[in-house]
Structure 1
């Protein structure tokens, strides 16, 4: 395998492994509830969770976490079960 092929293979592996968990705005959940879920599920600090909640409120969505797809799908499931709208991208 050439150096170029090795580099491309490495880049593809990185792209496959690193995904984002995105939280979308809704009009049903309170700020406090969203903050609590982010602290519990994503292990955010209170400050991180509050910043994500505000970004989601003003911009419509926020990347709340990155990681491998299996971990993010599990967290997305927990957050969705709690009533939040999330997506792994």
Structure 2
């Protein structure tokens, strides 16, 4: 007799997500050719809560260096922020430390 064990695999995936949710991580935004400085800065202010000065500095770093860490926090805190940035057309990833 054969038994399907797919539900067990689902449980393992849920456990993997929960284990990493409190781990420290960095939210990184990459440079692109289609978003304006104003749009990037506005996104950082509205989504990440950065000041206009901090947002401008990060936008400049991204422009000249190709990427920048825009926020460091627990993985679970960064996930919705990354999704919101991506929804606005920014190229953002989360990297664990």
Aligned length: 75
- Find the structure with the greater CA-based Rg: 2
List alignment gaps of at least 5 residues for structure 1.
Answer: 1-15
List alignment gaps of at least 5 residues for structure 2.
Answer: 1-21
Structure 1 consecutive aligned stretches of length 4 or more whose deviation exceeds 3 Å: none
What is the TM-score when the length of structure 2 is the normalising length?
0.75
Displacement after TM superposition at 1:71 (Å): 1.0
What is the TM-score when the length of structure 1 is the normalising length?
0.81
Q: Distance in 2 between matches of 1:17 and 1:67?
A: 8
Out of 66, 69, 79, the residue aligned to residue 63 of structure 1 is 69
Displacement after TM superposition at 1:17 (Å): 1.7
